[in-house]
Structure formats: structure tokens, C-alpha cells
Structure 1
Amino acid sequence: MIPVILGMTIIVFLILHLSPGDPVDLIVGPNVTPEVYASIRQKYGLDQPLIVQYIKFLSNVARGDLGTSILQQRPVSELILQRFPITLELGLTGLVLSFLIAIPVGVSAAVKRNTIMDYSCMTGAMLGMSLPTFWFGLLLLYFFAYKLRWFPISGYGTWRHLVLPGFAIGLTDAAITARMVRSSMLEVLRQDYIRTARSKGLAEMVVTYQHALKNAMIPIITLLGLRVGWIIGGSVMLEIVFSRPGLGRLMVDSILARDYPVVQGAMIVLTTSIILGNILADLLYAVFDPRIRYN
């Protein structure tokens, strides 16, 4: 975790500080005197060399201090703690929906291989993979919120605010997961122990879900670990589309305002989420495969 997070901080720090723009311009306006401008840059340490600024930032992070927002004058950790639950709520909703949809679809396509069921499921999966998440969200917003008025157009706070963005991220992610479930199931269904289970007279549902699916879960769990971080990070555009005040919206606003501490702190949280998702996948291997143990 440490080398990955360290590498991410270097990349984000350099991109932010080498890109055009200065947060001081947004604070003081165009008519400030050079003396005041220089004093504000000195106050936030922006007059120091980049290497000095980075080392100071890294030492503060090591002590659990993500800094203070330049524009809002509030601790970055406080802003992230306020916004992250909103993003996490959307990301987990999309993740749960994607697996609730993808597993039955992928299993059905594998069991009914080369039939109309298989072709229909995989065509739908290819269509879902081709849809940009934010564009699909706009379609849902237009039809179900603007035209039919079944759900609110924007905001958060109730389950109705969560339905459209949750489905937007969940359905597009389910397309990728369904293809993985189908491929993994097809490989398992060819194994000898599946034929043995069927020869014993076990019901097809038992063979499919208790024997085949459990043994096909390792590649799916690997994908789960990767998708956890992608879904949380992929919520950024949907938060803009649906006007949800989550971490993604905070990051976009902070990037436009060159609020360096907020962007760096938010990226550390997102990177940590991705890494923890992969560690969770490693631990789940031992749950589904008794041959795998961690000492």
C-alpha cells in the first residue's frame, strides 16, 4: 500500500502544481497589490520550492494531517469525512446492484450456452459496456425524473435520490461482471465433478449454484476487488450529473479552484479505497476456496 500511495501523491502533486493557475488569484482577485499577493503565497507556503512543499505535505500526511483548504479555510479531513459517506453510499449501491444483476445473467448465459438466452444476455452485456456511465445517467434522468417524474432530478437524502444514480453505475458495471461470470462458469461446468454431481441426481439449481458457482467465484472476486475502487472513483461524474454533494463533486470543484490540499487529500482516500478493495478480494479467496489459506 505504501509505495502505491506514495507514487500517487507524487503524480498528483506534480500535476496540480505544474498546471496553469494559482489558487491565490481566486482568493485576492485581480486588483490586489504585489505585496499582499506575495504575503498570501508565503502564508500557504506556495512560495517555497516544489520539493520543500512536497516534503512538508508528506510529513503532515504521515501525522494524519491532510492540511487546510485554501478556499474554505476548513481542515481537509473534515471536508472529506463530510462528503465521503455520500460517495460511498452511491458506490456500494452500484456495486450491490451490479452483482445482483450480473450473477444471474452470467449464470443463465453459461447454462444456456449458444441459445437465444445466451445471445440475448451477452448482447445486453455488450450494450452495457458500450454506454458511458454519465451518459446513461443522463438518459435515466431525462426519462424517469424529467418526463415521468418518478424520482427527484437532483439532491440526496432519501432512497428515491439514490435509485437513478445507483442504477446508472450498477447496470453499466453489471455488463462487465456478467461476461466474467459467464466465462468462469463455462470453464467450471466442463469439470468432472460437475458431471458427477449431476449423475448423483442432484437438482440442476443445486449443481449450478452450490457446486459450479462457488468454484467459479475466484476470478469474479478478483474483478470485485478491482471494481470496488472503480465504482467509487466512477461516481465522480454521476455526482455532477445528479448534483450529489459527494467526494467527486468536492474534487472537481477543488481542481477548478486549484485547492491543492483538498485534491491531494481526496486522492489519498480514493487510492486507499482501491487498495483496500484488492486486499478484501485476497481475503475472500480463502472463504470461497478452502485450498487457499493465509498464515
Structure 2
Amino acid sequence: MLRYFARRMTFLVLTLLGMTIIIFSMLHLAPGDPIDLIVGPNVTPEVRENIRHQYGLDEPLVVQYFGFMKSLLHGDLGESIIQHKPVSELIAERFFVTLELSITALVISFLIAIPIGIKAALKRNTITDYSLMAVSLIGISMPTFWFGLMLLYIVAFKLRLFPISGYGTWKHLILPALTIGITDAALVARMVRSSMLEVIRQDYIRTARSKGLAERVVINKHALRNALIPIITLLGLRIGWVVGGSVVVEIVFARPGLGRLMVDSILARDYPVVQGTMIVLTTCIILGNLFADVLYAIVDPRIKLR
């Protein structure tokens, strides 16, 4: 197990390194000059160059990257060019807003998906199965931001059941969490159905039924327990996806999370904040995948041999 974990950690470090190169290059090679947003167009060239030197923007990209990595290894994400505050402080202020939304959405997703997937598997090739899978296909095909806008218009604007936007109470959390949770549940439900179908066709399930056990006991005690093994792994994978997917939803519902911070910083070309936010979000996704790998090795020891 230790060797398996060490291999995964090595892969994690290499992935994070590649991710920092991509993020840094993508931002610094984009058109535009952040100095224009700091000082405006009417300052002298000397002032512009002094400010550029102050933020290290006059150095070659390679030098800037190694300076960025040196600071990153010391836990320093830099300082915001626009807000003049440490990036780590700005991210800390927004991180738990995103985390709250992500966890709530993940819980909603699995609470919806697992019963639907099991029901569809037990009623396979019936109108119930076809109906549930058709609905899940619509959910997979539906853009998250569009579904969020529909919830805003119908539930918040027309029915006035929840606030349209903002942050502060549990009512502000419901619609964004439902937006992510329901669209994510569509995919998870199909995977639960496939896993359940594979299990209920096994010999030990037929043996349990032949012993005269009640169908409820066969499903809950024998089939579901084994069908949940790949679902547990899926949980780890969805953690990273939901955290990353909350970015768009935060913009739609005007939540002050990492997604809103990143978009505002992109528009302002605030390089340090954009870099720091993207690193935190992508790290969450990578850690979610690592968690899934380790969890899979725990529930299925055979995976350690691969």
C-alpha cells in the first residue's frame, strides 16, 4: 500500500508542476498589459517602467516563472496587483464559500443519483428504466449555467421561493447547490445503474435468491454493498469536478467564492490572483483524483498490484 501511495504522490507532484507551467504561460502570453490597469494611460514611460520593475514584470518569462515557483514552495502566492493584498488572504476569504457550495452539491448529487440508479437497474428494460435514463440523459446534456438561469427565473424570480443571488443564509445556498447537484446526479445515476446491473447478474446474487431470501435483503445486503465499491471511487473523482464546476455557478448566482474572484481577476489582468486561484482549484481536482485512487486501493486491494 505504501508503494502504491508513493507512486500516486510522485504522479501528483509531476502533475502539479506541469499545471503551474501551463497556468503561468497561459496568463503571461495573453494579450494586454496589467500596468495599464494600475496606472492608467496618462503616466510617463518612466513611471510605467518603475512599476513594471517593482512587480518583476520586466524580467524574462523563465526568470519570472522560477521566482514564482520559489515563492510558491514557501507558501507565498504573491500580492494582488489591483487590491494590494496577499493572494493567500484573498483566497482564504473566498475558499470556504466555494467549499460549502461544493460539499452541499455533492451530497445532493449522491442522494438523488444512488436511489435513481438502483431503481433503474432493478426495473431494467421497463418504462421506469427508460424514463429515468432519458431524464438523466437530458441532465447530462444540459449546460450547468443554463439550468442555473432557469432555476433563477422560475424558482427565485417567478415563484419567489429563494433569493435571486447573494450569500449569507442557507436560502442563498439552495439554488446553486441544486444546480450543480442535479446536473451531476444525472451522470452519477447512470454509473450507479451500470454498477448495479453488473452485480445483480453475479452467481452469488442468484444463490442468495435461491435460498429464499427476501428481495429487499438480497439487494441491500448483498448487491448494494458490492455495487457501491466503484461508486465510492466515483465519489473521490466527483469531489474535484464539483469544486471546479462551482466556478460557473458562482458567477450565475453572484456568490463571493473562488470562481467569482478568479473571473474578476481575469478581467482586471491581476496575474498573481488568477494564478493563485487556478492553482488552488486545480489542486483540489488533483487531490480529489488522488483520494479516489487511494480509496479504490483500500476497498479493492487488487488495485495495488497494477
Give the TM-score, by structure 1 length: 0.96
1: distance between equivalents of 2:184 and 2:124? 22
Q: Deviations over 1:150-183 (max 9, x none)?
A: 0001111111111111110000000000000111
2: distance between equivalents of 1:20 and 1:9? 19
Q: Deviations over 1:205-260 (max 9, x none)?
A: 22212221221223323332222111111111111110000000001111111111
Which residue number corresponds to residue 139 of structure 1? Answer: 150
Pair 1:79 & 2:85 matched: no
Which residue number corresponds to residue 113 of structure 1? Answer: 124
Farther off after superposition, 97-106 or 200-209: 200-209
Question: Does the Cα contact within 8 Å between 1:214 and 1:288 map onto a contact in 2?
Answer: no
Q: CA RMSD in A?
A: 1.5
Per the alignment, in what secondary structure is the counterpart of residue 216 of structure 1?
helix
Give the one of 13, 20, 31 matched to 2:42: 31
Which residue number corresponds to residue 233 of structure 1? Answer: 244
Farther off after superposition, 220-229 or 263-272: 220-229
Question: Does the Cα contact within 8 Å between 1:237 and 1:248 map onto a contact in 2?
Answer: yes
Which residue number corresponds to residue 64 of structure 1? Answer: 75
Pair 1:191 & 2:202 matched: yes
Q: Deviations over 1:4-60 (max 9, x none)?
A: 111011011111000111111001011111111110000000000000000000000
Farther off after superposition, 267-276 or 242-251: 267-276
2: distance between equivalents of 1:40 and 1:93? 43
Q: Classify 1:11/1:286 alpha carbon distance in 2 versus 1 (closer, same or farther; 3 Å).
A: closer
Which residue number corresponds to residue 104 of structure 1? Answer: 115
2: distance between equivalents of 1:272 and 1:226? 13
Which residue number corresponds to residue 219 of structure 1? Answer: 230
Which residue number corresponds to residue 126 of structure 1? Answer: 137
Farther off after superposition, 143-152 or 280-289: 280-289
Pair 1:249 & 2:246 matched: no
Give the one of 279, 284, 296 matched to 1:285: 296
Q: Classify 1:25/1:286 alpha carbon distance in 2 versus 1 (closer, same or farther; 3 Å).
A: same
Question: Does the Cα contact within 8 Å between 2:244 and 2:282 map onto a contact in 1?
Answer: no
The Cα of 1:284 is off from its aligned counterpart by 2.7
- Aligned-residue identity in percent: 71
Which residue number corresponds to residue 106 of structure 2? Answer: 95
Which residue number corresponds to residue 3 of structure 2? Answer: none
Which residue number corresponds to residue 16 of structure 2? Answer: 5
Q: Classify 1:6/1:286 alpha carbon distance in 2 versus 1 (closer, same or farther; 3 Å).
A: closer
Which residue number corresponds to residue 155 of structure 1? Answer: 166
The Cα of 1:288 is off from its aligned counterpart by 4.0
2: distance between equivalents of 1:2 and 1:289? 24
Q: Deviations over 1:251-271 (max 9, x none)?
A: 111111111111111121112
The Cα of 1:277 is off from its aligned counterpart by 1.1
The unaligned stretches of length 5 or more in structure 2 are 1-11
Which residue number corresponds to residue 269 of structure 2? Answer: 258
2: distance between equivalents of 1:291 and 1:63? 38
Question: Does the Cα contact within 8 Å between 1:105 and 1:121 map onto a contact in 2?
Answer: yes
Equivalent pairs counted in the alignment come to: 294
Aligned structure 1 segments of 4 or more residues deviating by more than 3 angstroms: 286-294
Q: Quick one: which amino acid aligns to residue 176 of structure 1?
A: L
Per the alignment, in what secondary structure is the counterpart of residue 155 of structure 1?
coil
Give the TM-score, by structure 2 length: 0.92
Give the one of 38, 55, 62 matched to 1:51: 62
The Cα of 1:62 is off from its aligned counterpart by 0.6
The unaligned stretches of length 5 or more in structure 1 are none
2: distance between equivalents of 1:101 and 1:290? 29
Which residue number corresponds to residue 14 of structure 1? Answer: 25
Question: Does the Cα contact within 8 Å between 1:112 and 1:118 map onto a contact in 2?
Answer: yes
Question: Does the Cα contact within 8 Å between 1:76 and 1:261 map onto a contact in 2?
Answer: yes
Q: Classify 1:214/1:283 alpha carbon distance in 2 versus 1 (closer, same or farther; 3 Å).
A: farther
Farther off after superposition, 146-155 or 269-278: 269-278
2: distance between equivalents of 1:3 and 1:255? 26
